[in-house]
Amino acid sequence: MRLIRVFLKSMREQLRSYWLLILSISIAPVFVLLYWMITGGGSTTYRVLIINRDQQNAESVSAEVIEKIQQLSYSDGQPILKVTLIEDQTTAETKLRNREATALMIFPENFSSTLLAAGKGQKVESVKLTLIGDLTNPYYPMVSIMAVSAVDEYVKDMIGQYSPVVLNEIPLGASAARTEFEMYVPALLILAVVMLIFQVAMTITREVENGTLRRLQMTKMTAFDLLGGISLTQVLIGAACVLFTFLTANMLGFSSQGSLWIAVLIGVVTSFSIIGIGLMIACLARTVSEAFIYSNFPLIFLMFFTGAVFPIPPMPIFTIAGRTIGMFDFLPPTHAIIALNKVLTLGAGLKDVAYELILLLILSALYLAIGVFLFNKYRLHKN
């Protein structure tokens, strides 16, 4: 009987904290759904850009090789590589930096003539097949191997064991010189800012739990005064997190190709969105303990679906002005990580990350505005 009474009491307490119960039950199924959407229910297709400078005629070998690359598929028939023909190399390299594509392959002008001559037994000089990519992109090695293997297989069938094709791999920026440790640093800098979600949610909830908020409301303090003061503190902490994390990485051997102040700026802008999320959590949590527990749920999404922990393949939804908008682009850290990778690894300047910064500013302002609105409605006016 006592066991049953304890059981019923425990069930009532769980039902009172229905938000926590709903989140606990639904988080794993939501992850399953999201990963199904990421892989399309099967496997990921990777985008490869191709510049074909080869002579286009009836005997064009490059066209057949490109078709061979397009035919690479999984066992279920889903294509592995999505080939996009492009003419301008600068535009193509920009897409690689933005991770809108994984690799760029360039067929030279003498590709077909060289292979046709070699196929007839003539002595020819080597022809260079150029492959360009960001070597810090974890998908690049796999994609480049598959694309080059498709070329090698075609050449082998056409000529035999001897192949006049020589691979000329060109890394973007300083990506070839990065160690495995250095590859993770840009994401870790943003992760340091994302961890502020606990600090924000618990600090504000503590003000409510201790009755400080009610006492402050008796004064002429406005919502702007309260939230503005707390937000400025957290922004400074966010900047300090980025700075000290960067200095720690630097002492351990990390070498930045870009400006530190741009990295700090990206971290500061990102911190505003985290403050907004913290305010939303403070609207739900009744105690500091609840605020800590609730903070874990958005933290999981911000870690696993922004590229902070492991890379997320692109999930394009639509395109605006030549820019592809993906499914997880509504999460501010997604753009922050791309921007930091450009700055710290590829040596980009402020102008080169303008797109990411603009999106980051818009999303951070939106998250913060929603957080302030909800907190003002459910906490300041309610208490």
Using CA atoms of 344, 346, 351, 354 in order, give the dihedral in degrees to the nearest 10.
-70
Dist CA 154 CA 64 (whole Å)? 9
Q: Which of helix, strand or coil describes residue 238?
A: helix
Dist CA 119 CA 163 (whole Å)? 10
Chain segment 323-365, per-residue pLDDT in tens: 778 788 899 999 999 899 889 888 888 988 999 999 999 999 9
pLDDT given for residue 17 in this prediction = 67
* Assigned token pair, 82: 């999505």
pLDDT given for residue 23 in this prediction = 65
Residues 6+ apart with CB under 8 A from 383: 208, 213, 214, 217
Q: At what angle do helices 260-284 and 288-304 cross, to 10 degrees?
A: 130
Domains, the chain, in order of start with CATH, read 46-177 (3.40.1710), 180-380 (no CATH)
DSSP β-bridge partners for residue 85: 50
Quote the strand ranges of 273-342, DSSP E.
316-320, 323-326
Chain segment 284-294, per-residue pLDDT in tens: 888 888 888 88
Q: Rounded to the nearest 5°, which phi and psi values hold at 44?
A: -85, 140
Average pLDDT, the chain: 82
Dist CA 253 CA 250 (whole Å)? 5
Is residue 133 within 8 Å of residue 103, measured between CB atoms? yes
Is residue 260 within 8 Å of residue 250, measured between CB atoms? no
Q: Rounded to the nearest 5°, which phi and psi values hold at 318?
A: -155, 175
Q: At what angle do helices 354-375 and 332-344 cross, to 10 degrees?
A: 150
Q: At what angle do helices 180-194 and 288-304 cross, to 10 degrees?
A: 140
Is residue 201 within 8 Å of residue 294, measured between CB atoms? yes
Q: Which of helix, strand or coil describes residue 129?
A: strand
pLDDT given for residue 370 in this prediction = 92
Using CA atoms of 200, 201, 202, 205 in order, give the dihedral in degrees to the nearest 10.
120
Is residue 94 within 8 Å of residue 37, measured between CB atoms? no
pLDDT below 70 — which residues of the chain?
1-3, 6-7, 9-10, 13-14, 17-21, 23-24, 26-28, 30-43, 55-59, 161, 176-177, 212-226, 313-314, 321, 380-383
